[in-house]
A and B are shown apart, each in its own frame.
Chain A
């Protein structure tokens, strides 16, 4: 099987590649880059399109098994394809949680042969109950790429310490949903001026930063590898910078919604801006943008969290946390940060490709002769409006409904084949 991509802008910030050329893929490997290459079995007319290494999302909730009214592996991976992702890592907070090697293998088998590759993060503790470690070694052997109790924090410091120790037996990565459940309490948004005004219970910023501080001290104490999920507070960034400069093995991710929205948006968007961790202030948002630009944070993750319309209608106190993001992540960040000059295209692409792949130990994606072809293709000129009708996810709880975005994925190349987005 040979696929040729004609006339695209090939863009791989990791190697400094940025040129317009043809690309030939034979049996899944990039065999030639240049002008006037021979045609393959399939031709992708990509004049002026952007080709990047395949986008990778390390934080998605695909809801299978147990909550398939919200999403399942089929709809979730279709949404990922529409967003230009070649790889998606699913969180284990399903029903039952993915704390068992057999279940993990079943899920990976479910996704076999799909254009978008599924990777699975396993539960850190049995039942994600935060009390006893899950069978982490067996889970990793079954294919788990990391361990997390995402959805809630690990309240018990001793359990987190044991996990960091135990995972060193197989170089496991611990993904921390940093939240002190006692401090966040009944909070449904960031505690601050806006929550005071709206009369809504708030989650203080210290609910996140105090746990990050704890986890970094545990890392200093016992070693291990830690990845801080969905950073929301600027204090967390200062702690990360200190941890990294002290040589601790710590990385972090930011989400598109924390990069684009603030607690002020809760007043207008209501439950579509109810997130955990919550949207914080403009200062926090700007600090996250700066950390992404500087490389302190080298990973963008969607925290794609589908919920039914009925659940999101239950009001701020009772609706579940979370928004979907796979289909809008690249386009929204390109529109709001890159076309406005706040972030370079290189940083955006790196943080959605090389950064997450390196942290999570996934096969690197690169554009050079001899590399496995794992590519995303975008039309940066087109504009589109986010509406329920444009979304592939089974749920449409996007915080960006009604926004017009610039740039859209037109397809991906994985396993030696071209997989177009049906527009």
Chain B
């Protein structure tokens, strides 16, 4: 077979590359199961290992997957960029086949390359996208959805404002899809260099001025501002970013009492949000992390059950 012709994209339990690989029903039952696990129900047990293949640095996502694996009774294998055969030019497919031979039955993969997992043919293991460049980070959205649900809110009809560097954000792309699939209304805000004309439209949502969005939203998702955006000239300064688009203590005081605040972490305190936000009872930042473990457990369980 010629190498350039793609393998048919597998949608469903074998592979989760982007939110829309899940049906709305699948998403709903994952959330139900994630909630059960979160509230203490034991997860199913599986033989074999979960491989975490991270071509980019990560602390929380990788640890979260490892915690999930341990709840499923699985061992873990780790591949990082440094010192691995990735640096020696091994392809992702070959790396995954090696891990399977080592006993992996599932892999969580983070790459800087959008769509990298789409290029990988069936390697006989469950594959989860743990973040591919700017494109998607579906398990983050699963965590966010559970966190909001556990806070007693319905996703359907909720108004979600995402603020920050939308252009470069896989978290935003997944959230627009995931919250949208469950019936939330989504709007975007941020500097026009990072929310260019046409971007919101391409997501099927609206871009709004930040102040207007804050007054409208039930949930505010604050994105991490990567400092390299400044170096590339998208922004004149972090100070100006905080003044115009940061969730400052002052803006927090003006939020309604029932508004929820999300942040995918890690936070830049004093840039996209102030210390007060993290401590505020409306903030779900720490709940999101805990929910990440539960949802990754539920997801891997569903994928491995289906094999």
Hey, which bits of chain A sit against chain B, CB under 8 A?
191-194, 196-201, 270-272, 309-310, 312-313, 315-318, 387-388, 396-397, 401-402
In the complex, which residues of chain B have a beta carbon less than 8 angstroms from the beta carbon of A396?
Answer: 2, 4
Alpha-carbon gap, A201 to B118, bound state (A): 18
- Select the stretch in B40-48, B195-203, B276-284, B285-293 that faces chain A: B195-203
Whether B134 pairs with A193 at a CB distance below 8 angstroms is: no
In the complex, which residues of chain B have a beta carbon less than 8 angstroms from the beta carbon of A192?
Answer: 198, 202
In the complex, which residues of chain A have a beta carbon less than 8 angstroms from the beta carbon of B199?
Answer: 193, 196
Determine how close the nearest CB of chain A comes to the CB of B81; give it in whole angstroms: 15
Interface string of B29-56 (1 = CB under 8 A from A): 0000000000000000000000000000
Whether B5 pairs with A313 at a CB distance below 8 angstroms is: no
In the complex, which residues of chain A have a beta carbon less than 8 angstroms from the beta carbon of B135?
Answer: 198-200
Does B114 interact with chain A (Cβ within 8 Å)? yes
Determine how close the nearest CB of chain B comes to the CB of A195; give it in whole angstroms: 8
In the complex, which residues of chain B have a beta carbon less than 8 angstroms from the beta carbon of A193?
Answer: 198-199, 201-202
Q: Which of B114, B119, B170 has the most CB of A within 10 A?
A: B114
Query: Can you name the residue of chain A whose Cβ is closest to the Cβ of B132?
Result: A199
Q: Which residues between 189 and 232 of chain B lie within 8 Å of chain A, taking CB atoms?
A: 196, 198-199, 201-203
Determine chain A's interface SS by DSSP, over half rule.
Answer: loop
User: Can you list 19 residue pairs at the A/B interface with Cβ under 8 Å?
Assistant: A192-B198, A192-B202, A194-B202, A196-B167, A196-B202, A198-B114, A198-B115, A198-B135, A199-B132, A200-B135, A201-B134, A309-B2, A309-B4, A313-B4, A313-B119, A316-B115, A317-B112, A317-B114, A388-B2
How many B residues touch A, CB cutoff 8 Å? Answer: 27
Determine how close the nearest CB of chain B comes to the CB of A263; give it in whole angstroms: 11
In the complex, which residues of chain A have a beta carbon less than 8 angstroms from the beta carbon of B152?
Answer: none
Alpha-carbon gap, A232 to B6, bound state (A): 26
Residue among B2, B115, B202 making CB contact with A270, cutoff 8 Å: B115
Alpha-carbon gap, A271 to B113, bound state (A): 12
In the complex, which residues of chain B have a beta carbon less than 8 angstroms from the beta carbon of A316?
Answer: 113-115
Residue among B119, B132, B198 making CB contact with A196, cutoff 8 Å: B198
Whether A315 pairs with B119 at a CB distance below 8 angstroms is: yes
Alpha-carbon gap, A197 to B20, bound state (A): 12
Residue among A313, A317, A387 making CB contact with B133, cutoff 8 Å: A317
Whether A313 pairs with B3 at a CB distance below 8 angstroms is: yes
Q: Which of B4, B113, B115, B133 has the most CB of A within 10 A?
A: B4
Determine how close the nearest CB of chain B comes to the CB of A309; give it in whole angstroms: 4
Does B304 interact with chain A (Cβ within 8 Å)? no
Instruction: Name the 9 nearest CB pairs between A and B, nearest first.
Output: A199-B135, A199-B134, A193-B202, A315-B113, A309-B3, A196-B202, A388-B2, A196-B199, A199-B114
